[in-house]
Amino acid sequence: MAMAQTPETFLIRSKIGNLGAPARAYLIYKAGANQVIDSAIITAGNFDFSGQILNPSNAVLVIDHKGVGFEKLDSTADVLNFYIDKGEFALSSPDSASKAKITGSKINDDDKNFKTLLNPVKDKAQKLAAQRNAATGAQNTPEFRSAMQEKYKALQAEQKTIIKKFILGNPDSYLSLMALYSVDGPSPDPFELDTLFNSLSPGLKNTETAKIFKNSLETLKHTALGTMAPDFTQNDVNGVPVKLSSFRGKYVLIDFWASWCGPCREENPNVVKVYNKYKEKNFTIIGVSLDKQSGRADWLAAIKNDGLNWTQVSDLKFWSNQAAALYYVSSIPANFLIDPNGKIIAKNLRGDDLENKLKEVLGK
């Protein structure tokens, strides 16, 4: 699809103090599927970059103040993250790339405004993370973790409101298209995203990037709430094939996890608790592991150590697990709650949310 697009030209006129040799500037960006690393000599602080792009692109400007060479630069290097779009714009700073201001670029103006809107959420998230990390073993109780989860959920809802408002208020901005990817995190509602997508301007919806996003929405609808859960068969720990549809007539939680996944192992005690509480009430779990063939022993050990006494299956193909691909799982832990008729009724239930949903459908 990229080959069908017409490349657009950009020009960045830059001024970083009065830098000169041996200092050198590097620009890293994407042109279609290719990563470009360009360089420029700096004379009296001045240097330009020009090129062609298919779509607006994230870019990184790096100033090698001592002229050590791009390969020798590390995480302490002087960098600026920004966007490249078609047309000409300017970049200037009295002494460094990291302090540079960008003028004449709508997409970078939009990015600045978007980040300003999200900064309060970012600050609250950092404080929550510090609070969680400071919790000692005695303080890190199930009640504490549940309270923290509720705070994170409230923060996610606040962020979602901000992102949706930005998208609806900026229908022409390429950033609105990019923001659609973060509206609902790893488990978006494709129908809600469809509504937001349709609010974009005709020109933006006609870009190749938008068409790809639209296609991904149609894919996500295959595992939306209310749809029939895609059937699959994988071997259990004894090599016996297990078919999802063989559990028809029960509420089933499909739990995607792995022995190497820290958050999965952290969540396992909660899953064990609800399993033991509801396993006699027409409820069961099928665990699908994203472990590797070389990690089979770790998988079996984790099942035993965490007390995961329900059906466990895997094809031991890591991220290429066929069931995970069928459900478009891109991060773990992930889960899908299936009703007795085989329909998906909930997704990605963690902590108290899992038990509350089971209370709702199974009764206390």
Assign 3-class secondary structure to the chain.
CHHHCCCEEEEEEEEECCCCCCCEEEEEEEECCEEEEEEEECECCEEEEEEEECCCEEEEEEEECCCCCHHHCCCCCEEEEEEECCEEEEEEECCCHHHCEEECCHHHHHHHHHHHHHHHHHHHHHHHHHHHHHCCCCCCCHHHHHHHHHHHHHHHHHHHHHHHHHHHHCCCCHHHHHHHHHCCCCCCCHHHHHHHHHCCCHHHHCCHHHHHHHHHHHHHHHHCCCCECCCCEEEECCCCEEEHHHHCCCEEEEEEECCCCHHHHHHHHHHHHHHHHHCCCCEEEEEEECCEHHHHHHHHHHHHHHCCCCEEECCCEHHHCHHHHHCCCCCCCEEEEECCCCEEEEECCCCHHHHHHHHHHHCC
Per-residue pLDDT of 39-87, as tens digits, reads 999 999 999 999 999 889 999 999 999 999 999 999 899 999 999 999 9
CATH of domain 2-104: 2.60.40.1110
Domain 233-362: give its CATH superfamily.
Answer: Glutaredoxin (3.40.30.10)
Note whether 2-104 and 233-362 share their fold: no
pLDDT for the residue numbered 4: 54
- Percentage of the chain surpassing pLDDT 70? 98
Q: Provide mean pLDDT across the span 217-245.
A: 93
Per-residue pLDDT tens for 77-130? Answer: 999 999 999 999 999 999 999 999 999 999 999 999 999 999 999 999 999 989
Asked whether residue 150 carries a pLDDT value surpassing 90, the answer given is no
Please tell me the predicted confidence (pLDDT) of residue 5. Answer: 63
Query: Where exactly are the structural domains of the chain?
Result: 2-104, 107-223, 233-362
Q: What is the pLDDT of residues 172-228, one digit of tens each?
A: 999 999 999 888 776 678 889 999 999 999 999 988 889 989 988 888 888 989 999
Residue 3: predicted pLDDT: 45
pTM greater than the 0.85 cutoff:
no
The answer to whether residue 1 scores a pLDDT higher than 50 is no
Averaged pLDDT score across all residues of the chain: 92
Q: What is the pLDDT of residue 195?
A: 94
Provide the percentage of residues in the chain whose pLDDT is more than 90. Answer: 76
- Residue 357 is predicted with a pLDDT of 93
Average pLDDT over residues 310-321: 96
